[in-house]
Amino acid sequence: MLKAKQKKFNNFEKAVLFFNYLFAFALLICYLAPYVNPESFWLVAFFGMAYIPVLCANTVCLVFWMIRLRWLALISAICILLGLGLMVRNIGFRKQSFEMSKASPKLIRVMSYNVYCFLNESPTIYESTNASVLKIIQDEQPDIVNMQEYFARNSDRGNTTKTIKEAMQAPYHWFKPLKITIYDTTGLAIFSKYPIISRDTIPTMNGIETEGIFVDVKHGDQVFRVYCVHLQSTHFSRTDNAYLANGKPNLHQSKQIGGKLKLAFIKRAQQVKILKQLLDACPYPYIITGDFNDTPLSFAVSYMQKGLKNAFREKGYGLGVTYYGEYPGFQLDYIMLSRQFNVTNYKIVRERLSDHYPVISDVELN
């Protein structure tokens, strides 16, 4: 009787079943990524990065077996259900609720944007996007803008700052240069409509350097802190990006890229541990935003958001993709807040200027 049932599977179905088991196992490993420190076991971090495509593969298998009216649909169905709590980190199951104008003057509109040195995302065009970025700022009218990879030519730095201030009608800012040449500077910048009463950089601690700055701002009779951070990048070269875009397998190139990812996973895990120490010692309510260079199911992002509110998880909708470069489909940019804040809404501005989208949220300080 059992042999008769086995014969009903054709070769194609057997192949699908084989890959279904692989995808299901991979999905279960993905669920471990937020909890396994890459410093201890880095391999799991790669599964966390691959969560969305692995989830899609399991969904395809689920639909396939459902069409075939096979109980084997339970393989992927059960695995997907086990991870529903983690799925909402990547997908927002709610309607868009963002309004162009703030619903109340008490709300604080926060924007985070990796502006990619104000260049077009294409590595072959090199068009300045200053005017287009200014248009977004002017339309959205954020109260606070955090920029990563902020770029200014030494001969024109004052004018760049002035035009951004004018676009958002903000008199206060701080730009911290991190890379300086004889022609230009690149770094982190915070622009604010509220008075900046103090400012500082994220210190190097235990030998771990983190690109980060913060300011304390006064909002009415309240003071809160704003952090702008840019966590460890993979530092992919043009050759690496071209290989990823090409898709043709090459063992040497794959090992090189894997090595860079591994080092970046470990470095970000170290950086967030330092950041959490600083956040825990912060005397004010705070907002931390930036390009974390890691996905929602990564150890770094999961560790960072412990005890915090994640604006996307609170009010985001759809796939929270904020990076669309050579290998699109990742959420790398975040707005997180201490518990004294309430999140009213959240939006990703899908304008292809940088290789990242800006993210915006209206928040209220209790």
Q: Residues 92-133: pLDDT tens digits?
A: 888 777 777 787 889 999 999 999 888 776 555 556 778 889
pLDDT at 225: 98
Residue 5's pLDDT is 47
Domain boundaries, the chain: 2-87, 108-365
Is the separation of the CB atoms in 160 and 134 below 8 Å? Answer: no
Beta bridge partners of 288: 227, 336
Torsion of CA 354, 247, 61, 10, to 10 degrees: 160
pLDDT of residue 357: 95
Beta carbons within 10 angstroms of residue 349's beta carbon:
16
Query: Which letter does DSSP use for residue 340 in this model?
Result: T
| Selection from 173, 162, 270, 273 nearest residue 215 by Cα | 173
Give the containing element (helix H, strand E) for 18: helix 11-30
Strands, E assignment, 58-107: 91-92
DSSP assigned state of 116 = G
Beta strands 108-114 and 144-153: pairing type?
parallel
Please give the sequence-ordered ranges of beta strands (E in DSSP) within 65-143, or none if there are none: 91-92, 108-114
* Residues of the chain under the 50 pLDDT cut: 1-6
The per-residue pLDDT for 4 is: 42
Q: What is the pLDDT of residue 129?
A: 79
If we measure between CA atoms, which residue out of 363, 364, 365 comes closest to residue 111? 363
Tokens matching residue 308: 């915090």
Tokens for 205, please give them. 């601690």
- Per-residue model confidence (pLDDT) at position 324: 85
What is the enclosing helix (H) or strand (E) of 22?
helix 11-30
Assigned fold of 108-365: Deoxyribonuclease I; Chain A (3.60.10)
Which pLDDT belongs to residue 182?
Answer: 84
pTM of the model: 0.91
Q: Give 344-363 pLDDT, tens digit per residue.
A: 999 999 998 888 999 999 99
